[in-house]
Chain A
Amino acid sequence: MQPKINFQDVSVRYRLPKERIRTFKEFAIKSLWRKIEYEEFWVLNDITFNIDAGAMVGIVGRNGAGKSTLLKLVAKVMKPVKGQVEVNGKVTPLLELGAGFDYELTALENLFLFGSILGISGKEMKGKLARIIEFSELGDFINAPLRTFSSGMVTRLGFAVATAVTPDILLLDEILALGDAGFQKKSLGVIEQFRRSGVTILFVSHDLERIRSLCDQVIWLEGGTVRAMGDTTTALNQYETFLHT
């Protein structure tokens, strides 16, 4: 079977000015004096791995290990400097609170806006409308402007839209701690359902217990390289030993 996600010798380099130059004025002055020095660092270094369709993979590592960069490559918002990233299928990232919403629009209008950001057509959205409204528990608030909503309501709406259409690949970045306990259970239910229907899931988290209970495989990143990849128990044990020494 063709792997869902294939990284072949992938490297990502950040090349930023040592002092962060954000204005043209500074740039003009400094380049006149030839004073701009760039700092390079490799966020990901020669990474190679395959993820099979239907796997749920946890990604662990300390801050700055390259976890979010890896998700950016899968989501195609970033291109690698070297190597090849192959992603087969529709990718849906689960976004943090409120990204992609406009607080002046009503919940219903936002629903279509956010849906189209995730590449769901208006026609598809109309078909899923009843389910989204029910799942987000918004009821009569659906025609109220989003600025009147609590953050819990916004979260529920975002999750309901993002999971309205079953993606091929789902990206979860540290955001399974959604809403209240009841909604958390519900959202975990959806993730579980996706898993059973063969969605490939990448889950970045520092919550090792949650990774242990959900994932089949774990990738451990350290300093931009893969330190371990394999079944959850083995890889997590290695990572924990590393953390505690």
Chain B
Amino acid sequence: MLLIALLLVPVATAVASFFARRRAAMEAANLVGFVAVFLIAIVLAARVLAAGTVSLANGFFYSDALSALVVLLTASVALVCATYSVGYLRDDQQSGELGDDMSGMEQMAQLRMYYTLTPLFVFSMLFMAVANNLGVMWAAMEVTTLASIFLVTFYGKVTSLEAAWKYAIIGGVGLSMALFGTLVAYYAGRGLTGSQAISGLNWSVLAQHAAQLDKTSMRLAFVLILMGYGTKAGLAPMHTWKPDAYSEAPVPTAAILSSALLNCALYCLIRFYILTSRCLGAQYPGRLLLLFGLLSMGVSVPFVLAQKNFRRLLAYSTIDHAGIMAIALGLGSAMGSLGLMLHMLFHTIAKPLLFLCAGNVHQHFRTDLFSKIKGGVMRAMPLTGVVFLLAMLAIVGMPPFSLFQSEFLIVRAAMVGGHTLTGVLFVLFATGVFAGVLLHVGNLVLGPSGDAPVAPRRPWRDGSLLALASALVVIAFWVPAPLLELVRQAARVVSGQ
């Protein structure tokens, strides 16, 4: 019942927004819907903590601690972004960003599209996280792309069409590879009883019998899956769609793409990693993940250092963090898995916060370029400036912020596990990104101020900013016990220990 409600609420929200006639009704539908989704996600997490797993409809829906954590994170990001987008889109409408020569009707149509597609986008992510069947999981992942393409083209500019085209085509090829991989994994399980029936693709069944899967097929399947879902996660060299999509999409959408969708893509990788490591041992999938992870971290360094556009800077930072999480998964140890799940949690708080700050700056200064803003964000918009600085320190892994803890844990896991080279490169690349982000964002916020006017108060946007920022600060010192337990259990699902 709980899982059904989790999926029905966003769909109902989308339908309500689609038929709403006034902007206020759409905003209200979205807010109410996402508050409900958030509450359901908390209840689901509590159930999973109590019972271990929750499943429904003969195991068609299945949720263990890993799914519950992904669902909870997705729901939280969606709620914060829904609050933020109220203020953000009102500002866009007033300032004519939606299109200069647009009539009221056309503007409404565009807002309707946003408020309808966002719940559908969230729905597909939630569906993916609770689908037991690997084929259904794939289909839901494809729907995430389809639902978000027109969010990327929201502003209808030349550049946003280009970004959406890259996103659609690169994502499409990537997902077809993931489907091929899913297919081969299904073939690998053909010897199991009842594999012709629907349960043959159920993850919980395959995971139980992972040792009996056909080894050659699983080898091929994992490569295809890594390329496929790696494209969605934005691992290098399949990352090229990311900076474009993130810098062209409306900021709340970009925040969801960079945190919740990244988690979902990693979730798919994790599911297959578990199957593959149980079938072939942890070394084969681990090495591949370490390779792609280090490559992603390495690729992001020069682009962060030489970046001119702050939203693209955040995109490269996300590629860096996708790499970090791939490495944590590839280490395969219990410590690495714990680092992975903690990092996923912490990153999902810090990255949307950065995007929301970037959105405030973008809307105030009407540009994304460092060279045009020069500095003075702190003077023009003190709250955004302070939060931007805090979130930036957090994302590069400065203590006392929590990402330091998770990254430290991952490096330690690498060293203890004998992956010295990985550990050294990790620290090297992380330092590069650290320098780049610190330099650029530090200048942006603290640099000499131009003649930009002081920003007015913005209750919706500042409220969501403050909520997320306090979560960031609080979690640096104190993780609530049930949440920590959920993270631990999720890590246990990953490492199998």
Mutual binders A and B:
no
* Chain A interfacial positions (CB closer than 8 Å to B): none
